[in-house]
Copies of this chain bind each other. A is one copy, B any other.
């Protein structure tokens, strides 16, 4: 008979989350305001997070870099928060995937273009 050990329940405050994820404290508060990140509160009102808030914030950054808005992200959060996803959400996921893929293609084209320019200016000073 084993006891259910809640795997490290130590809660951390906002500064630690921010440093851990490499963003500002202001940014973390903003994410909460946008409904991306829910925090418990200490009796005195300070935000308390679980450690997995750090990779979550990193994930947000990744999605922002991918051009998703906080609204979009919040709409898609249930997809990995809970296990259940409806057809609409999966369609949104795929749509965002397509957008991202074509964006990468565009950037690759821009990179190629830039490389051409570099090659010319190097061999042709």
Chain A contact residues, CB within 8 Å of chain B: 59, 62-63, 65-66, 79-80, 83-85, 89-90, 93-94, 96-97, 100-101, 103-104, 106-111, 113-115, 117-118, 120-122, 124-125
Contact = CB atoms under 8 A, between A and B. Distances in A.
A73 B113 CA distance: 13
Nearest 6 pairs between A and B by C-beta?
A: A66-B110, A85-B121, A62-B110, A104-B107, A65-B106, A100-B111
Given A85-B125, A104-B104, A124-B83, A62 B118 contact: no
A41 B18 CA distance: 53
B122 A90 contact: yes
A85 B93 CA distance: 45
B107 A65 contact: yes
